[in-house]
């Protein structure tokens, strides 16, 4: 069972000495480092530290925010450690998952993270509903507008082949079949359908 340390500062000109000293006092046999933002996914030091951990080992940081900015990210990381049989310790915060109180703390954090996700989902749904009420619809633009549908129906009634109609409207043949009622194609000669 070993203590594996992880230290991070946000920029190249910041100093890691304070964290390194604290991790050494915490008994870390190996310390990995990053000079990168907590929001960045490019943190080779963190991934190396995680790779070095074995069952029974403990990942030690100086403070919780050294691992990242979001509660969800922290909870997910600690959960992943738990699945591998490893523990987590934050020196300054006095938190460790090796005991029942530490595990309880992270269950509470997980509950808050879940509540945060639910609140975000509710706010998103409310925002979409308000936008729809104002006539704005999210998502990808429709391939066939009302104007394109009217043009397509007229061209098909005039005997223009489906492929030519689709090409002139910059849509695919399946899109035309999906958007137009079957009777729109009833006047199309059989041989032109066979060519599709």
The tens-digit pLDDT sequence of the chain (196 residues) is 899 999 988 876 678 889 999 999 999 999 999 887 756 567 888 899 999 999 999 999 998 878 776 777 777 888 888 888 899 998 887 888 887 877 777 677 667 666 777 888 888 888 888 887 887 766 666 677 778 888 888 888 888 888 888 887 888 888 888 888 766 665 544 444 444 4
Is residue 92 annotated as a catalytic residue, yes or no?
no
Rounded to an integer, what is the distance from CA 10 to the centroid of its chain? 22
Tell me the residue ranges of DSSP E strands in the chain. 3-9, 28-35, 58-61, 87-90, 95-96
Cβ atoms 67, 46 nearer than 8 A: yes
- Residue position matching structure tokens 């990381």: 77
pLDDT at 137: 64
Q: What are phi and psi of 159, to 5 degrees?
A: 90, 10
Cα angle 17, 23, 24 (rounded to 5 degrees) comes to 90
Q: Give the residue among 168, 183, 179 at the shortest CA–CA distance from 144.
A: 179
- Residue position matching structure tokens 């359908």: 193
Judging by DSSP bridges, how do beta strands 95-96 and 87-90 pair with one another?
antiparallel
Residue 96: beta bridge partners?
89
Contacts 24+ apart (CB under 8 A), 138-145: 143/171, 143/175, 143/179, 144/169, 144/171, 144/175, 144/176, 144/179
d(CA 53, CA 62): 17
- The reported pTM is 0.55
d(CA 127, CA 137): 11
Cα angle 162, 167, 173 (rounded to 5 degrees) comes to 45
Q: Which of 10, 37, 98, 192 is catalytic?
A: 10
pLDDT at 191: 43
- Token digits for 111? 């509950």
Residue 132's CB is within 10 A of a number of other CB atoms, namely 11
d(CA 166, CA 154): 13
């Amino acid at each position: 069972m070993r203590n594996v340390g992880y230290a991070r500062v946000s920029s190249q000109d910041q100093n890691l000495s304070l964290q390194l000293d604290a991790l050494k006092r915490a008994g870390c046999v190996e310390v990995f480092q990053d000079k990168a933002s907590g929001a960045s996914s490019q943190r080779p030091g963190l991934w190396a530290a995680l790779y070095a951990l074995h069952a029974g080992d403990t990942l030690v940081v100086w403070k919780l925010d050294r691992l990242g900015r979001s509660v969800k990210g922290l909870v997910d990381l600690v959960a992943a450690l738990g699945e591998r049989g490893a523990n987590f310790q934050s020196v300054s915060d006095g938190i460790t998952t090796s005991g029942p109180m530490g595990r309880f703390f992270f269950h509470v954090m997980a509950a808050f993270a879940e509540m945060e996700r639910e609140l975000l989902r509710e706010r998103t749904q409310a925002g979409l509903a308000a936008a729809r009420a104002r006539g704005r619809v999210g998502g990808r633009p429709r391939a066939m507008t009302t104007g394109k549908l009217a043009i397509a129906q007229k061209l098909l009634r005039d005997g223009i082949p489906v492929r030519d109609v689709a090409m002139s409207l910059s849509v695919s043949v399946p899109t035309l079949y999906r958007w137009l009622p079957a009777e729109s194609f009833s006047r199309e000669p059989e041989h032109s359908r066979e060519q599709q």
